[in-house]
């Protein structure tokens, strides 16, 4: 193991970045707690099962190596680490730094999608906020929930969007005296192509959706998507 002592918190704490989900644990926790959090996070994302380890020994080694690479990028590795176990003091940038440029580009694209989503809601609410019929919403929801690869659980970065949509949905229910829910709600998350919470979007009239769906986003939609019909 590269770390000289896993029981002593290194400068800046323990560092780990899970590229598949964009998640990192808090850096200032002790080693064993951090390992437990990584394992818990991975087990909570079964879609990646088989692509990562969940046994304690392997995850401990990953955290060890990731932390030493982070320390090496700051010129601090010799104080806390020893060479070996896949690590050298000349190690390249830590994984966090390698992915930073890509993450910034992804963030800019996400902002554009969120602005478009706000436009959809603004138009809809300003136009009387009349939802589509339950039959239409059910068909849309079933399409999204039936194996669409763009339908994914909301991540931490999506929480504010999801919570805002739930508030709007409840307001619409009160106004229209309808229960805006479908049989597929438990399987609806966020569309990764447009970043829209699907529980709300399936009730939105198509004219408002199309007005704010760019050609770029349309190309990213699944070919079975109801927006393209």
Per-residue pLDDT tens over the stretch 59-109: 998 898 888 888 888 888 888 988 765 565 654 444 444 433 444 344 445
In this structure, the answer to whether residues 89 and 202 fall within a common structural domain is no
Instruction: List, for residues 146-195, the tens digit of each pLDDT value.
Output: 989 999 876 544 544 555 555 555 655 654 566 788 999 999 988 888 87
In this structure, the answer to whether residues 119 and 206 fall within a common structural domain is yes
- For the chain, the C-alpha Rg in angstroms (whole number) is 22
Q: Which of the listed residues 98, 128, 162 is the one where a domain comes to its end?
A: 98
Give the pTM: 0.47
In this structure, the answer to whether residues 126 and 163 fall within a common structural domain is yes
Q: Which of the listed residues 64, 80, 98 is the one where a domain comes to its end?
A: 98
Closest CA to 198 of 210, 214, 212, 209: 209
In this structure, the answer to whether residues 92 and 118 fall within a common structural domain is no
In this structure, the answer to whether residues 114 and 221 fall within a common structural domain is yes
Confidence (pLDDT) at 165: 57
Cα separation, 139 vs 182, whole angstroms: 9
Instruction: List, for residues 18-46, the tens digit of each pLDDT value.
Output: 888 888 888 788 999 999 999 999 999 88
In this structure, the answer to whether residues 122 and 51 fall within a common structural domain is no
In this structure, the answer to whether residues 204 and 215 fall within a common structural domain is yes
In this structure, the answer to whether residues 86 and 196 fall within a common structural domain is no
Q: What is the mean pLDDT of residues 192-201?
A: 83
Cα separation, 137 vs 213, whole angstroms: 19
The pLDDT > 90 percentage for the chain reads: 27
Q: Which of the listed residues 98, 114, 148 is the one where a domain comes to its end?
A: 98
Confidence (pLDDT) at 28: 85
Closest CA to 182 of 159, 206, 207, 202: 202
In this structure, the answer to whether residues 142 and 111 fall within a common structural domain is yes
Alpha-carbon 135 to chain mean position: 30
Provide the residue range defining the domain that includes 135. 101-228
In this structure, the answer to whether residues 111 and 151 fall within a common structural domain is yes
Domain count for the chain, please give it: 2
In this structure, the answer to whether residues 41 and 134 fall within a common structural domain is no
CB 21 within 8 A of CB 45: yes
Confidence (pLDDT) at 93: 46
In this structure, the answer to whether residues 109 and 214 fall within a common structural domain is yes
């Amino acid at each position: 193991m590269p770390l000289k002592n896993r029981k002593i918190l290194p400068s800046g704490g323990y560092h780990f970045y899970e590229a598949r989900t964009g998640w990192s644990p808090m850096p200032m926790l002790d080693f064993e707690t951090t390992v437990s959090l990584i394992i818990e996070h991975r087990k909570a994302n079964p879609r990646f099962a088989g692509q990562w380890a969940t046994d304690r020994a392997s995850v401990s080694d990953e955290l060890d190596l990731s932390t030493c690479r982070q320390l090496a990028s700051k010129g601090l590795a010799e104080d806390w680490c020893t060479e070996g176990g896949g690590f050298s003091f000349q190690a390249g940038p830590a994984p966090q730094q390698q992915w930073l440029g890509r993450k910034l580009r992804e963030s800019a694209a996400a902002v554009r999608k969120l602005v478009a989503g706000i436009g959809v809601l603004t138009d809809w609410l300003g136009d009387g906020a009349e939802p589509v019929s339950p039959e239409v919403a059910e068909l849309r929801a079933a399409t999204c929930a039936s194996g669409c690869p763009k339908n994914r659980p909301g991540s931490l970065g999506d929480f504010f969007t999801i919570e805002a949509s739930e508030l709007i949905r409840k307001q619409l229910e009160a106004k229209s005296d309808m229960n805006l829910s479908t049989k597929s709600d438990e399987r609806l998350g966020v569309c990764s192509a447009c970043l829209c919470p699907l529980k709300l979007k399936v009730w939105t009239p198509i004219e408002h959706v199309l007005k704010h769906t760019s050609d770029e986003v349309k190309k990213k939609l699944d070919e079975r998507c109801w927006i393209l019909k």
